[in-house]
Structures are given as structure tokens and as C-alpha cells.
Amino acid sequence: MVPVIIILVVILVFVLIFVMQYNGLVKLRNRVDNAWSQIDVQLKRRHDLIPNLIETVKGYAKHEAETLENVVKARNAAVSANGVQAQGAAEGALSGALGKLFALSESYPDLKANTNFLEFQEELTATEDKVSYSRQFYNDSVLGYNNKIGTIPSNIIAGMFNFTAREFFETETPEDREVPKVQF
């Protein structure tokens, strides 16, 4: 009788460990998915803000057609980008183009005083922040998830049920990594 009870208890413990590990994996995977959709929401908001911003700036800075054109191009590329890596690269390029646009506004005092423009600037700064925070949260979630499916004992269960590692979201483009060249 006693050996039977011991065997039953051991089986029960194993089943419990299995259930806990499996549930933990599903929770982490869902968190990664949720974090990704957070990024999506923020990116969409950012893309929606840009056409209005361009309209506002056009009225004040007609001579800067090239900078504006670059922002529009970068935005359209970002909208149509697919997959974690491509999206990351396109967003990085868009950030660069927007940065140039805001730097340009320094030489147009009228534009800088425009309340519409200031509001857009606040909204875009906030959205930019949210994009980077959601990216950070996504990457933290991916790290936790990838660690879980790569380590013993959860890696056994992850292998059985086809939990695969996720990619990190990186906005850095190859140009960003290079040291900026300064000439005097």
C-alpha cells in the first residue's frame, strides 16, 4: 500500500510541476504578444500624426521641401514595413527624419511660436517616448520568455509544445551604429 501512495504522490508532483511550467510559458508568450500590440498602437498613432504636422510646417518653411519629402518617404516606408526587423529599421529611419525636421524649426521663429506646431511637437515627443517604452517593455518580455524556453526544466515543455524564441525589436539601422563624422 505504502509504495503505491509514494508513487502516486510522485506522479502528482510531476503533473503539478508540468502544469505550472506550461501555464508560466503561456503567460509569458501572451505578455510578449500583448507588448507587441502595444508597440503597434503607438506606431500607428505616430504615423497618423505626421501628415498633419507636415501640413503645419509647409506653411512656414516652403524652402525645406527636401526635409519634408524625406519625412513623408520615411513615414510611408514605416507604414508598409512588415515583420519585427523591417519595422524596426523603418522606424529608426523615421525618427532620424523627424529629428532633422525639428532641428530645422529652430531657424523659423514663426513656426516655433505656432501653437499648433507646439502641440504636435508635444504629441510627437510623447508618442516617441511611448514607442520607446513599449519597445523596452516588449524587449523585456521577450528576454523573460526566451530565457524561460531556453532553460531547464521549462525548455523540455517548450520543446514539446512548440514554443519558439522571439526576436528583439531594434530600431537601430546600420547607419545609426556608425560613429557620427564631425568636420570642422
Q: Is 32 in the site for another protein (CB under 8 A)?
A: no
Alpha-carbon distance of 180 to 163, in angstroms, equals 40
Q: Is 114 in the site for another protein (CB under 8 A)?
A: no
Q: Is 134 in the site for another protein (CB under 8 A)?
A: yes
Q: Is 126 in the site for another protein (CB under 8 A)?
A: yes
Sequence-ordered alpha helix ranges (H) in the chain: 2-58, 65-80, 84-104, 109-113, 115-150, 154-160, 174-177
Q: Is 31 in the site for another protein (CB under 8 A)?
A: yes
**DSSP letter assigned to residue 166:** -
Q: Is 52 in the site for another protein (CB under 8 A)?
A: no
Nearer to another protein, 125 or 164 (CB): 125
Q: Is 45 in the site for another protein (CB under 8 A)?
A: no
Q: What angle do CA 138, 141, 145 make, to 5 degrees?
A: 135
In 10 A of CB 35, how many CB atoms?
A: 22
Cell reading at 122: 508635444
Residues composing the chain: 184
Nearer to another protein, 31 or 76 (CB): 31
Residue for cell digits 531556453?
150
Q: Is 130 in the site for another protein (CB under 8 A)?
A: yes
Among 40, 48, 69, 122, binds another protein (CB under 8 A): 122
By the 8 A CB rule, do 131 and 78 touch? no
Q: Is 49 in the site for another protein (CB under 8 A)?
A: no
* Among 51-59, 69-77, 94-102, 128-136, the segment contacting another protein (CB under 8 A): 128-136
> What sign has the CA pseudo-torsion 42, 45, 46, 47?
positive
Nearer to another protein, 23 or 136 (CB): 136
Q: Is 137 in the site for another protein (CB under 8 A)?
A: yes
Q: Is 129 in the site for another protein (CB under 8 A)?
A: yes
The contact set with another protein (CB under 8 A) reads: 31, 35, 38, 42, 122-123, 125-126, 129-130, 133-134, 136-137, 141
